[in-house]
Amino acid sequence: MSTNIFGTFQFNLHCNENTWKLTLVGTINSIGGILGLPISGMLSDRFGRKTILISSVALSALCGVIRSFSNTYTFFLVMEFVDAFSKAGSYPTCFIIGAEFVSPDKRVLISVLINIATSVGGMIVGSVAWAVPTWRMLDQILYGSCFIILSYYWFLPESLRWLLTKKRYEHASRILSTIAKTNRTTLSKEHMNQLFHTEPLLENTETYPLRKLLQSPILTKRFVNCCVCWIFCLFSYYGLTINAISLSNNGYVDFILCMFVEIPGNIAAHFLMNRIGKRYCFTLAFFICGISSASFIFIPHDLSVIRLSVYLLGKCAAAINMTAIYSLTSEIFPTSLRSSLLTSCSMFGRFGIVVASQTPLLELYWQPLPLVLFALTAFAGSILTLRFPETLNETLPNTIEQAENIGRRKTSERI
């Protein structure tokens, strides 16, 4: 439930005969994301994570403000597309920066914190939309506040791993010195120079063209499996979110509850990924999502509390999947290809969002059909995720060989 949905009242899109135009807004948003993700990923690997994050969010903010002055449905759709295209890579880039800045035992925590922040943001969007009387003002408030991202130019450091792959040792030294000062410790230049020029680090700064991935059968099959899992994950996550607004008579409350339930879901993800590993956490969450979606179909409408609880359990499991899939994808590919492949997987996942945006139309033919699809894709995903290597406490791979060998110390590689 994005802010653009609230703008459709002016264009008479809530009439039954115009339902397809309403769902088209979400589809256009997804198509913009599909086209923007691979481009932002390649730009991020070339020009830096920080540069792409700031520029994409700022451009999205500008598009959102311009869209608030739309006077036709067509212009509204055009700006929706440009907005989605601009900000497509911002979310994956946040994960990349977080994953590349911390030790292996803290990567799960970073992933969880980012997802909790997203959930809180969703609750804020629902609350503000409930309180603000017009969609134009809503767009201006929400997107106008995004210009604060420009201040990150002075506060957000560039990814150290990216700097090392580009051999920008002087910039990396300044960041390490700032970190050391913040932690009230010292790091001499001699120590940093020794660190930068040791043989293992020189090996770790190897870069590859994207086509090099296709020469590795292990990584190629892993990438394909990852793309399919992204489609299933985003289809169930966004599908359950979109259809939640019809759970009761107040779509705003339904949406806020769906966002709120993600917080315990992300906390559970942190616990599960650190205890049973990311692969099995991923599998379990998919299975719970499938069971919840299938069970919801058979619960009588008069048992409203039970119906709501089961639905929210499925959304909670879908939120766990979102945390797991970002965390896992950012850890199974080499550094120089990490952002490109993460955004590429996310791009394919957007096809799941395209279909999820149309699920309200499926209810016109058979009301339980969307939930049947959510259940089937979740069960399929629970099987496919077993084919990933376990990355718990593994060091981020910097070379193709290291990526191929992930998890082999603990269990045989499955892909």
Q: What is the pLDDT of residues 308-360, one digit of tens each?
A: 899 999 999 999 998 888 888 888 888 777 777 887 888 888 888 888 888 88
pTM for the model stands at 0.76
Predicted confidence (pLDDT) at residue 212 exceeds the cutoff of 50: yes
What's the mean per-residue pLDDT of the chain?
82
The answer to whether 1-185 and 215-405 have equal CATH topology is yes
Task: Give the pLDDT mean for 147-157.
Answer: 90
Name the residue with tokens 């403000």.
65
Task: Give the pLDDT mean for 147-158.
Answer: 90
**Is 232 in contact with 289 (CB distance < 8 Å)?**
no
For the chain, what is the HEC assignment? CCHHHHHHHCCCCCCHHHHHHHHHHHHHHHHHHHHHHHHHHHHHHHHCHHHHHHHHHHHHHHHHHHHCCCCCHHHHHHHHHHHHHHHCCHHHHHHHHHHHHCCHHHHHHHHHHHHHHHHHHHHHHHHHHHHCCCHHHHHHHHHHHHHHHHHHHHHCCCCHHHHHHCCCHHHHHHHHHHHHHHCCCCCCHHHHHHHHCCHHHHHHCCCCCHHHHHHCHHHHHHHHHHHHHHHHHHHHHHHHHHHHCCCCCCHHHHHHHHHHCHHHHHHHHHHHHHHCCHHHHHHHHHHHHHHHHHHHHCCCCCCHHHHHHHHHHHHHHHHHHHHHHHHHHCCCCCHHHHHHHHHHHHHHHHHHHHHHHCHHHHCCCCCCHHHHHHHHHHHHHHHHHHHCCCCCCCCCCCCHHHHHCCCCCCCCCCC
Give the whole-angstrom CA distance, residue 58 versus residue 61: 5
pLDDT-wise least confident of 5-19, 81-95, 327-341: 5-19
Task: Give the pLDDT mean for 61-80.
Answer: 90
For domain 215-405, the CATH architecture is Up-down Bundle (1.20)
Tokens of 353: 């969002």
User: Which residues, 6 or more positions from 117, have their beta carbon under 8 angstroms from its beta carbon?
Assistant: none
Instruction: Name the more confident of 65 and 155.
Output: 65
**Closest to 122 in 3D by CA, of 99, 142, 150:** 142
Question: Domain coordinates of the chain in residue numbers?
Answer: 1-185, 215-405
**Closest to 94 in 3D by CA, of 49, 145, 35:** 49
Quote the pLDDT of residue 162.
Answer: 79
Give the whole-angstrom CA distance, residue 241 versus residue 259: 8
pLDDT-wise least confident of 57-61, 78-82, 302-306, 332-336: 332-336
Quote the pLDDT of residue 393.
Answer: 75
Give the whole-angstrom CA distance, residue 170 versus residue 180: 15
Give the whole-angstrom CA distance, residue 316 versus residue 338: 27
For domain 1-185, the CATH architecture is Up-down Bundle (1.20)
Predicted confidence (pLDDT) at residue 248 exceeds the cutoff of 60: yes
pLDDT in tens, 221-245: 999 999 999 999 999 999 998 888 7
Quote the pLDDT of residue 205.
Answer: 46
Instruction: Name the more confident of 12 and 158.
Output: 158
| Percentage of the chain lying above the pLDDT 90 cut | 27
Give the whole-angstrom CA distance, residue 208 versus residue 125: 40
